């Protein structure tokens, strides 16, 4: 395992800079406590990068990411690009190009429940008991990156869902290894009753499953999985799926816990590791010191764990949990009694002591 020293910080757009600032504060606190000697370097991505350089993922940022041991990302996106279908350069292109060029092939999204926040969930309490699942979404291939075209007369268009065995294998191995460290269950979600590419996923997963004999494998069609995530989410441990199915299911899974503002994610490649909150740039809240920094702070815990710094990661998770228990939260989690983004970050840092 490579050592963690140098972190590229890409704050991005909207509330990105505010939540990232708090996460960096927390990282600096654990860096001192555990003598990690972490260093930070900032780079541009998204709308702000377009404004300053014309490119949502400038070469300088790519170089910075490649030189860093890990990347911390805030959020990407600005409404000024959303309503004009003729705009050529968009912030999201930066995100997609970053994933592809850095080879971030596995997107990992845990859904963790906090008992104290069960009332925020759209599901009834009894359906939430025992929910602890993690989605492994393939991130650099499939329909997102397959051949795309629009016919010359503009009357038809296509996006090809293309997968290679090697692309399925590498994420399947990560998902199986994760299952081995968890409840030892893996569910492949696909549409193998219709799609050839899904049948390839099944063949690959069936072929490598015997290497992980202690993991119980199941298969589920994606339409059923969308339903099962709502009626009985506790049945899932590790969910393995392709790019677009994972995009859709991870949004569904993200609301189970009741707050998007709490959920971290990791995107893993062979040489790069990126960590970000799953929420977006939340433009309406920009600059107001109201955004919940906990998802980004918990992303930092995932970052540390990736580098086997388990004690520091556990400290952060415990500090966030204590803030929730003692009511040091932003407005989204308590309308009557709340703190600002900065103050929550400071509380987490203080509890790290």
Beta-carbon count within 10 A of 343 CB? 15
332 annotated active-site: no
DSSP alpha helix (H) spans, the chain: 16-33, 47-53, 59-67, 91-102, 125-128, 165-181, 196-208, 222-231, 243-254, 294-306, 310-326, 341-352
Q: Is 157 helix (H, G, I), strand (E, B) or coil?
A: strand
* 95 touches ligand IPM by CB under 6 A: yes
Tell me how far, at minimum, the Cβ of 278 lies from ligand IPM, in Å.
7
Tell me how far, at minimum, the Cβ of 124 lies from ligand IPM, in Å.
27
Instruction: Check 82, 125, 251, 310 and give the catalytic one.
Output: 251
Tell me how far, at minimum, the Cβ of 346 lies from ligand IPM, in Å.
29
Q: Which residues of this chain interact with Mg ion, rule CB under 5 A?
A: 247
Query: Residue 159: which of Mg ion, ligand IPM, none does it interact with, CB under 5 to 8 A by kind?
Result: none
Locate 257 and state its tokens: 């816990």
Considering the complex, state which of residue 116 and residue 247 has its C-beta at the smaller distance from Mg ion.
Answer: 247
144 annotated active-site: yes
Reading phi first (left if > 0) and then psi (alpha if -120 to 50, else beta), residue 275 is in: beta
* 98 touches ligand IPM by CB under 6 A: no
Distance CA 349, CA 36 (A): 16
Strand-strand pairing, 264-268 and 216-221: unpaired
Considering the complex, state which of residue 92 and residue 159 has its C-beta at the smaller distance from ligand IPM.
Answer: 92
User: Using the 8-state DSSP alphabet, how is residue 193 labeled?
Assistant: T
Q: Which stretch binds ligand IPM (CB under 6 A): 8-16, 59-67, 89-97, 221-229?
A: 89-97
247 annotated active-site: yes
Contacts of residue 203, Cβ cutoff 8 Å, sequence gap at least 6 = none
Tell me how far, at minimum, the Cβ of 251 lies from Mg ion, in Å.
6
Tell me how far, at minimum, the Cβ of 236 lies from ligand IPM, in Å.
18
User: Using the 8-state DSSP alphabet, how is residue 4 labeled?
Assistant: P
251 annotated active-site: yes
82 annotated active-site: no
In the shown chain, the binding pattern of residues 189 to 228 toward ligand IPM, with x for contact by CB under 6 A and - for none, equals ----------------------------------------
Tell me how far, at minimum, the Cβ of 295 lies from ligand IPM, in Å.
13
Instruction: Check 5, 28, 185, 191 and give the catalytic one.
Output: 191
* 247 touches ligand IPM by CB under 6 A: yes
Query: Residue 92: which of ligand IPM, Mg ion, none does it interact with, CB under 5 to 8 A by kind?
Result: ligand IPM
What angle in degrees, to the nearest 10, is found between the helix axes of 16-33 and 310-326?
120
* 92 touches ligand IPM by CB under 6 A: yes
Q: Residue 103's closest CA among 45, 145, 60, 72?
A: 145
Under 8 Å between Cβ of 202 and 148? no
- Interface ranges with ligand IPM (CB under 6 A): 92, 95-96, 247
Residues labelled as active-site residues: 144, 191, 223, 247, 251
């Amino acid at each position: 395992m490579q050592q963690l020293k140098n972190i590229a910080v890409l704050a991005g757009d909207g509330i990105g800079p505010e939540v990232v600032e708090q996460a960096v504060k927390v990282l600096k606190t654990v860096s001192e406590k555990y003598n990690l000697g972490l260093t930070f370097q900032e780079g541009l991505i998204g709308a702000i990068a377009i404004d300053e350089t014309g490119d949502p993922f400038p070469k300088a940022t790519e170089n910075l990411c490649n030189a860093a041991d890990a990347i911390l990302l805030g959020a990407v996106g600005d409404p000024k690009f959303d309503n004009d279908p003729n705009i050529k350069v968009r912030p999201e292109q930066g995100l997609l190009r970053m994933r592809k060029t850095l080879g971030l092939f596995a997107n990992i999204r845990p859904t963790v429940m906090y008992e104290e926040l069960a009332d925020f969930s759209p599901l009834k309490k009894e359906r939430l008991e025992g929910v602890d699942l993690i989605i492994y979404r393939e991130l650099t291939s499939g329909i997102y990156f397959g051949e795309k075209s629009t016919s010359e007369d503009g009357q038809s268009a296509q996006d090809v869902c293309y997968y290679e065995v090697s692309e399925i294998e590498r994420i399947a191995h990560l998902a199986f290894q994760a299952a081995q460290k968890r409840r030892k269950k893996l569910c492949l979600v696909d549409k193998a009753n219709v799609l050839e590419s899904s049948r390839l996923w099944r063949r690959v997963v069936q072929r490598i499953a015997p290497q992980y004999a202690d993991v119980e494998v199941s298969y589920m069609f994606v339409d059923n999985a969308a339903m099962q995530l709502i009626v009985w989410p506790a049945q899932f441990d590790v969910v393995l799926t392709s790019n677009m199915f994972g995009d859709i299911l991870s949004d569904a899974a993200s609301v189970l816990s009741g707050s998007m503002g709490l959920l971290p994610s990791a995107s893993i490649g062979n040489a790069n590791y990126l960590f970000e909150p799953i929420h977006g740039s939340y433009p309406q809240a920009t600059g107001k010191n109201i955004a919940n920094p906990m998802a980004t702070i918990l992303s930092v815990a995932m970052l540390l764990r990736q580098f086997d710094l388990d004690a520091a990661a556990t400290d952060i998770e415990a500090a966030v949990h204590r803030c929730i228990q003692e009511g040091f939260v932003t407005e989204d989690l308590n309308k009557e009694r709340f703190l600002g983004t900065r103050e929550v970050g400071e509380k987490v840092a203080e509890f790290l002591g």
